[in-house]
Amino acid sequence: MSLWVVIAAAIALIAATLAAAFAFLGPERIWSLYGPADLGPVSFETLQRRKKPNDALAAPADLTRARIDVYPPVFAVDAAALRRALGRAIASERRLTLVAIDDAVPAERYVQRSERMRFPDTIIVRFLDRPGGRSTLAIYSRSQLGGNDLGVNLARINRWLDKLAKEVPPVAE
Protein backbone atom coordinates (compact mmCIF):
# COMPACT_ATOMS: atom_id res chain seq x y z
CA MET A 1 0.00 0.00 0.00
CA SER A 2 1.37 3.40 -0.94
CA LEU A 3 1.99 6.14 1.56
CA TRP A 4 -0.73 8.30 -0.07
CA VAL A 5 -3.34 5.59 0.43
CA VAL A 6 -2.40 5.32 4.12
CA ILE A 7 -2.56 9.11 4.55
CA ALA A 8 -5.94 9.29 2.77
CA ALA A 9 -7.30 6.48 4.94
CA ALA A 10 -6.06 8.20 8.10
CA ILE A 11 -7.67 11.50 7.06
CA ALA A 12 -10.93 9.71 6.25
CA LEU A 13 -10.88 7.98 9.65
CA ILE A 14 -10.24 11.26 11.47
CA ALA A 15 -13.01 13.01 9.50
CA ALA A 16 -15.47 10.20 10.24
CA THR A 17 -14.57 10.28 13.94
CA LEU A 18 -15.06 14.07 14.08
CA ALA A 19 -18.38 13.83 12.20
CA ALA A 20 -19.61 11.15 14.61
CA ALA A 21 -18.56 13.23 17.64
CA PHE A 22 -20.26 16.29 16.14
CA ALA A 23 -23.47 14.31 15.56
CA PHE A 24 -23.38 12.65 18.98
CA LEU A 25 -22.52 15.71 21.08
CA GLY A 26 -24.41 18.24 18.98
CA PRO A 27 -23.07 21.43 17.45
CA GLU A 28 -24.08 23.64 20.38
CA ARG A 29 -21.91 21.61 22.75
CA ILE A 30 -18.99 21.59 20.31
CA TRP A 31 -19.12 25.37 19.81
CA SER A 32 -19.36 25.92 23.57
CA LEU A 33 -15.74 24.76 23.73
CA TYR A 34 -14.94 28.19 22.24
CA GLY A 35 -16.81 29.98 25.03
CA PRO A 36 -20.41 30.89 25.75
CA ALA A 37 -22.67 31.55 22.76
CA ASP A 38 -23.69 34.89 24.28
CA LEU A 39 -20.77 37.27 23.84
CA GLY A 40 -22.23 39.72 26.34
CA PRO A 41 -23.26 43.36 26.27
CA VAL A 42 -21.56 46.26 24.52
CA SER A 43 -21.63 50.00 24.95
CA PHE A 44 -22.47 51.61 21.63
CA GLU A 45 -20.81 54.84 22.78
CA THR A 46 -17.41 53.13 23.17
CA LEU A 47 -17.87 50.28 20.68
CA GLN A 48 -14.78 49.27 18.76
CA ARG A 49 -15.55 47.21 15.68
CA ARG A 50 -13.62 44.06 14.96
CA LYS A 51 -10.79 44.02 12.47
CA LYS A 52 -12.17 40.81 10.96
CA PRO A 53 -15.29 41.06 8.76
CA ASN A 54 -17.56 39.12 11.13
CA ASP A 55 -19.77 41.82 12.62
CA ALA A 56 -22.19 44.51 11.45
CA LEU A 57 -23.62 47.69 12.95
CA ALA A 58 -26.76 49.72 12.42
CA ALA A 59 -26.82 52.91 14.49
CA PRO A 60 -27.63 56.59 14.32
CA ALA A 61 -24.55 58.73 13.74
CA ASP A 62 -24.87 60.51 17.09
CA LEU A 63 -24.64 57.28 19.13
CA THR A 64 -21.22 55.91 18.27
CA ARG A 65 -17.87 56.69 16.72
CA ALA A 66 -17.60 53.15 15.35
CA ARG A 67 -17.95 52.52 11.62
CA ILE A 68 -21.66 52.23 10.81
CA ASP A 69 -22.90 49.87 8.09
CA VAL A 70 -26.57 50.93 8.14
CA TYR A 71 -28.25 54.09 9.37
CA PRO A 72 -31.59 52.98 10.83
CA PRO A 73 -34.72 55.01 10.15
CA VAL A 74 -36.65 57.08 12.65
CA PHE A 75 -40.08 55.77 13.60
CA ALA A 76 -43.20 57.73 14.63
CA VAL A 77 -43.53 55.85 17.94
CA ASP A 78 -41.67 56.09 21.23
CA ALA A 79 -38.88 53.65 22.15
CA ALA A 80 -41.18 51.43 24.23
CA ALA A 81 -43.59 50.97 21.30
CA LEU A 82 -40.66 50.39 18.93
CA ARG A 83 -39.34 47.71 21.26
CA ARG A 84 -42.69 45.89 21.23
CA ALA A 85 -42.87 46.22 17.44
CA LEU A 86 -39.42 44.70 17.03
CA GLY A 87 -40.47 41.79 19.25
CA ARG A 88 -43.41 41.13 16.91
CA ALA A 89 -41.25 41.61 13.82
CA ILE A 90 -38.58 39.09 14.79
CA ALA A 91 -40.92 36.54 16.37
CA SER A 92 -40.71 34.50 13.16
CA GLU A 93 -36.90 34.34 13.24
CA ARG A 94 -35.66 30.79 13.57
CA ARG A 95 -33.10 29.62 16.13
CA LEU A 96 -33.32 32.96 17.99
CA THR A 97 -33.10 33.13 21.77
CA LEU A 98 -33.56 36.21 23.93
CA VAL A 99 -30.72 36.01 26.47
CA ALA A 100 -30.83 39.37 28.28
CA ILE A 101 -33.09 42.36 28.82
CA ASP A 102 -31.94 45.69 30.23
CA ASP A 103 -35.00 47.84 30.91
CA ALA A 104 -32.87 50.72 32.22
CA VAL A 105 -31.12 51.33 28.88
CA PRO A 106 -33.48 49.94 27.20
CA ALA A 107 -31.78 47.11 25.35
CA GLU A 108 -32.14 43.43 24.53
CA ARG A 109 -29.57 40.79 23.65
CA TYR A 110 -30.19 37.73 21.51
CA VAL A 111 -28.29 34.69 20.28
CA GLN A 112 -29.18 33.36 16.85
CA ARG A 113 -27.66 30.21 15.45
CA SER A 114 -27.00 29.36 11.82
CA GLU A 115 -29.17 26.67 10.31
CA ARG A 116 -26.76 23.89 9.46
CA MET A 117 -23.73 24.25 11.68
CA ARG A 118 -25.48 26.12 14.52
CA PHE A 119 -22.78 28.81 14.71
CA PRO A 120 -23.86 31.36 17.37
CA ASP A 121 -24.13 35.09 16.72
CA THR A 122 -24.86 37.66 19.43
CA ILE A 123 -27.19 40.54 18.55
CA ILE A 124 -27.61 43.61 20.77
CA VAL A 125 -30.52 45.96 20.15
CA ARG A 126 -30.80 49.32 21.87
CA PHE A 127 -33.92 51.47 21.61
CA LEU A 128 -33.52 55.26 21.53
CA ASP A 129 -36.15 57.93 22.10
CA ARG A 130 -36.06 60.93 19.79
CA PRO A 131 -37.83 64.29 20.15
CA GLY A 132 -41.52 64.49 19.30
CA GLY A 133 -42.45 60.99 20.45
CA ARG A 134 -40.24 59.38 17.83
CA SER A 135 -37.57 56.71 18.21
CA THR A 136 -34.87 54.75 16.47
CA LEU A 137 -32.63 51.85 17.38
CA ALA A 138 -29.10 50.50 17.19
CA ILE A 139 -28.28 46.89 16.32
CA TYR A 140 -24.87 45.28 16.66
CA SER A 141 -24.59 41.72 15.36
CA ARG A 142 -21.36 39.74 15.77
CA SER A 143 -20.24 36.18 15.19
CA GLN A 144 -18.60 34.11 17.87
CA LEU A 145 -16.68 31.91 15.45
CA GLY A 146 -14.84 32.48 12.20
CA GLY A 147 -12.92 35.30 10.67
CA ASN A 148 -15.51 36.13 8.02
CA ASP A 149 -19.27 35.90 8.38
CA LEU A 150 -19.90 36.03 4.61
CA GLY A 151 -22.31 38.92 5.15
CA VAL A 152 -24.62 37.07 7.54
CA ASN A 153 -24.63 39.74 10.26
CA LEU A 154 -25.32 42.61 7.85
CA ALA A 155 -28.04 40.58 6.13
CA ARG A 156 -29.64 39.90 9.53
CA ILE A 157 -29.68 43.60 10.42
CA ASN A 158 -31.23 44.51 7.08
CA ARG A 159 -33.81 41.73 7.41
CA TRP A 160 -34.76 42.82 10.94
CA LEU A 161 -35.08 46.47 9.84
CA ASP A 162 -37.25 45.44 6.88
CA LYS A 163 -39.50 43.38 9.16
CA LEU A 164 -39.69 46.24 11.66
CA ALA A 165 -40.67 48.71 8.93
CA LYS A 166 -43.66 46.48 8.15
CA GLU A 167 -44.75 46.68 11.80
CA VAL A 168 -44.12 50.41 12.23
CA PRO A 169 -43.53 52.42 9.06
CA PRO A 170 -40.54 54.75 9.25
CA VAL A 171 -41.00 58.51 9.25
CA ALA A 172 -40.26 60.12 5.89
CA GLU A 173 -37.55 62.72 6.48
d(CA 148, CA 134): 35
d(CA 160, CA 164): 6
What's the mean per-residue pLDDT of the chain?
91
Mean pLDDT across 35-53: 90
Mean pLDDT across 14-21: 76
Domain spans of the chain, in order of start: 35-167
Report the C-alpha dihedral over residues 50, 51, 54, 58, rounded to 10 degrees: 50
Report whether pLDDT(81) > 90. yes
6: buried, middle or exposed (CB in 10 Å: 19+, 13-18, 0-12)?
exposed
- Under the banding of pLDDT at 50, 70 and 90, the label for residue 26 is low
Contact 28, 37 (CB under 8 A): yes
At the topology level of CATH, where does 35-167 sit? Answer: TATA-Binding Protein (3.30.310)
Of residues 20 and 125, more confidence is placed in 125
